[in-house]
Amino acid sequence: MNTAVSLRGLYAITDERLLPGDLLLERAEAALSAGVALLQYRNKLSNTAERLEQAKALLALCRRYATPLLINDDVALCLAIDADGVHLGQSDSGLQQARERLGPNAIIGMTCHSDLALARRAEENGASYVAFGRFFPSVTKPHAIPADIGILPIARAALKIPIVAIGGINTENGGALITAGADMLAVIHNLFAFPDVDFRARELNSLFASSR
């Protein structure tokens, strides 16, 4: 596990409802081939054995494309397959505990909604990045706490670690988030709900070349 990777660019997050069966690996590879910076395995519904099998398969793909794989809210699964890190929500296992278990080189992200105090605390406790959002209406999490784009320049000035923006992001609205201070755009539905994943990933990635 290595945090020396560049935490800038498109951050793809899987969803078991959008990617049943063989679609998970098929569309994940399409995203990886288009150059996503991070891939997160997120599966809240499957049993432990299935999640282990899927995570191992995704890790093999990520290694082929030299892209870090993070596990959503499961430090034990991350350790079991030797993934590159985890993403934690505020209600998930503690950041400090995760850092102790995964070591200094793991990539550990923390959801901070729209709360700068949470982000500062996460940075102090060893987070590799913090995530703000949802910035726009979200299909995946329609009831997620909304965030105002104005938090991004404030956070950019206050924090030293990378900032991830999430929530309803697409090619029309993503550029404004990068300009405001986001280092990464985390996308689920607008990437994986459609068959042209590679095209969508390249389009989203192009926003970074034309912003800031």
**What DSSP element (H or E) covers 63?**
helix 48-64
Q: What pLDDT is stored for residue 3 in this prediction? A: 44
CA distances from 117 to 7, 155, 182, 200 (A): 22, 10, 17, 34
Cβ atoms of 178 and 207 within 8 Å: the answer is yes
Q: Beta-carbon neighbour count of residue 143 at 10 Å?
A: 7
- At position 7, the amino acid (one-letter code) is L
CA nearest neighbour of 79 among 93, 91, 67: 93
Write down the pLDDT at residue 145. 83
> pLDDT tens track of the chain, all 212 residues?
444 568 999 999 999 999 999 999 999 999 999 999 999 999 988 999 999 999 999 999 999 999 999 999 999 999 999 999 999 998 766 999 999 999 999 999 999 999 999 999 999 999 999 999 999 988 877 778 889 999 999 999 999 999 999 999 999 999 999 999 999 999 999 999 999 999 999 999 999 987 65
User: What is the reported pLDDT for 211?
Assistant: 66
pLDDT at 2: 47
Give the DSSP letter string of 132-172.
Answer: EE--S--SS-TTSPP--TTHHHHHHHH-SS-EEEESS--TT
pLDDT of residue 138: 80
The CATH topology of domain 9-210 is TIM Barrel (3.20.20)
What's the pTM?
Answer: 0.94
